[in-house]
Amino acid sequence: MAFRGSFLLSLAALFTAGAQSTTIFFTNNCPYTTWPATLTGGGAPQLSTTGFELPSGQSSTLEVPPNWTSGRMWGRTGCTTNSTTGKFSCITGDCASSQIECNGAGAIPPATLIEFTLNGSGGLDFYDVSLVDGFNLPVSVQPLGSHSCNATSCAANVNEACPPELAATGTDGSVMGCRSACLALNQPQYCCSGDFNTPEKCPPTGYSKLFKDRCPQAYSYAYDDGTSTFTCPTGDNYLVTFCP
């Protein structure tokens, strides 16, 4: 993976400075612009930015303060600003804020999610890639530091294998995202709800296995914890890559 010289210098400066906060580095390897977005969990204050533009081949950083505990991040695609109304919107991952900043709003599915819990129990950070809200673009999360923690990803293009009943299509009929079976079919056996609200009663389905086969490290349905949650001692920083 190639980075710009300034990006490598910023990594080196971060480690030698011994920064106390967590830094999330974003890089966009997709052949198109993405618009990363963030949402803080638990009603806590939002980060310094909740949405920004990231052109193809570019990198950016986001500082996460020590008191930030949990939240999610994702990439938006096909974003434009309406020349008449001035409203900003995206084909996938839109947060309906009408602005580049999401301002505390979450992603409209389908969207590939990166989830973080920092400074968690046992002095650990927890992180995962989730397809529970569907898929819109490939992503990876790589810890940066001295702990040799495992990376996780959904590097495959799930859209290429998305069945028609789950597909979210553009105006030209092309598949722009792949919805979860819960979202598309709204049945309790796919949502792990009602009589299916325990791991024993809500095993993997053919639909969730479609996601899992292509992205074995990512969450494919609500109870997919065993192979999808990763940890690292608190103190590392993280690289989020779109289209790894």
Q: Is 10 exposed, middle or buried (0-12, 13-18, 19+ CB in 10 A)?
A: middle
- Please determine, for residue 10, whether its predicted confidence score (pLDDT) is greater than 60: no
Predicted confidence at residue 122, as pLDDT, reads 87
Domain that holds residue 188: 5-242
Percentage of the chain modeled with pLDDT above 90:
80
- Residue 71 binned pLDDT confidence (cut-offs 50, 70, 90): very high
- Residue 199 binned pLDDT confidence (cut-offs 50, 70, 90): very high
* Number of other residues whose CB lies within 10 A of the CB of residue 2: 8
Q: How many domains does the chain have?
A: 1
Give 106-139 pLDDT, tens digit per residue: 999 999 999 999 988 889 999 999 999 999 999 9
CA gyration radius, the chain: 18
- Residue 20 binned pLDDT confidence (cut-offs 50, 70, 90): low
Predicted confidence at residue 147, as pLDDT, reads 86
Give 136-168 pLDDT, tens digit per residue: 999 999 999 888 899 999 999 999 999 999 999
CATH number at residue 20: 2.60.110.10
